[in-house]
Amino acid sequence: MGGLAVGIDIGGTRVKLGWVEQSGRLLTRSEIATPVTATPAAVARAIAAAAGQLSAGDPPGGSPALPDRIGIGCAGLIDRRAGVVRTSPNLPTWREVPLAELVGRELGRPVHLLNDATAFVLAEAQLGAGRGSSPVVGLTLGTGVGGGIAAEGNIMGGARGFAGEIGHMSIAHDGPPCPCGNRGCLELYVGRRGIVAEYLRRAPWEPGTSAYERAGGDRRALSPRLLAAAAQDGETAAREAFAASGRMLGVGLANLANLLDPQLFVIGGGIAQAGDLILEPARRTLRERAMASGGEAVPVRPAALGVDAGLIGAGLHALSSGAAEVSS
């Protein structure tokens, strides 16, 4: 069974599962709705059942059994060593949930848990945009901002596995309060709500503007994706909203460049789909602010593995973690 794992990515609305090869290739995949309101034990049962069906459905290469290596990526503060979800924005009622143990008991196999952005960075560093570069710093821009640091393809975990909370790096010491307890965190400016707020600060919000028409006049329909389309239509306020968020992203990247001297930044997540609307202002600010850049700043590249990077990374994590613990 060497070289095969099940990767699982618990998102805000969907749980994605797949068989992952050491090469990063996905052999089979499926999705279930995230049971957001269910108890941890019920979530564990649902995930285990989906993983079991995956193996029974179309086992690749004639392998009949579920692989012994199982990895789960989940948003939030994840104690990787203990396999515990301390808190998660996707499962807001959870506190100190031993998810690895719960799913492991259902499947009769050890389960390796990690932060979903960490899983993304692991996959991108080993097989995606960061392949061949070290260290690689990765960020996922979505509802929140996640991140991770990989050196020689391995994640830098820190003492308890919490390293890489890049979204909660403060870039404005007296900025707005963040639910994490800090103020002026990067994700308040670069995440979904930050970009929408930057737009509403600048836009007249009246019929005739692209964003207004695309949203059908409903502010709640505003999203980075909609604003990116409005920016492509030529709406100035939408372009400026991405530029403002991009500059804040650049401030964060300059801090990271000074701290870590990375060879490459990889940017993924839904908001990264806006491409140069947000990445060009970020690159410019990074060049202006990073100490050692001399005009040659660290390259900032979009992620290469698409929406399944987290799933693949969870599988890769299980493959590297499982070797010492599982004999097959």
Q: Contact residues for Zn ion (CB under 5 A)?
A: 168, 178, 180, 182, 185
> What is the closest distance, in whole angstroms, from the C-beta atom of residue 250 to Zn ion in the complex?
19
> What is the closest distance, in whole angstroms, from the C-beta atom of residue 180 to Zn ion in the complex?
3
> What is the closest distance, in whole angstroms, from the C-beta atom of residue 170 to Zn ion in the complex?
7
Q: What is the DSSP letter of 62?
A: G
Nearer to Zn ion, 129 or 256 (CB): 256
The partner residues of 21 in beta bridges, in order of sequence, read 4
**CA proximity to 81, closest of 117, 112, 108, 120:** 112
Nearer to Zn ion, 175 or 270 (CB): 175
Nearer to Zn ion, 32 or 180 (CB): 180
**CA proximity to 252, closest of 159, 178, 161, 189:** 189
Sign of CA dihedral 290, 291, 294, 296: negative
Nearer to Zn ion, 186 or 316 (CB): 186
Q: How far apart are CA 153 and CA 136, in angstroms?
A: 8
* Contact between 236 and 209 (Cβ < 8 Å): no
**CA proximity to 11, closest of 150, 82, 116:** 116
Nearer to Zn ion, 68 or 165 (CB): 165
Query: Does the bond joining 67 to the residue before it have cis omega, within 30 degrees of 0?
Result: no
* Contact between 260 and 292 (Cβ < 8 Å): no
> What is the closest distance, in whole angstroms, from the C-beta atom of residue 143 to Zn ion in the complex?
13
> What is the closest distance, in whole angstroms, from the C-beta atom of residue 193 to Zn ion in the complex?
12
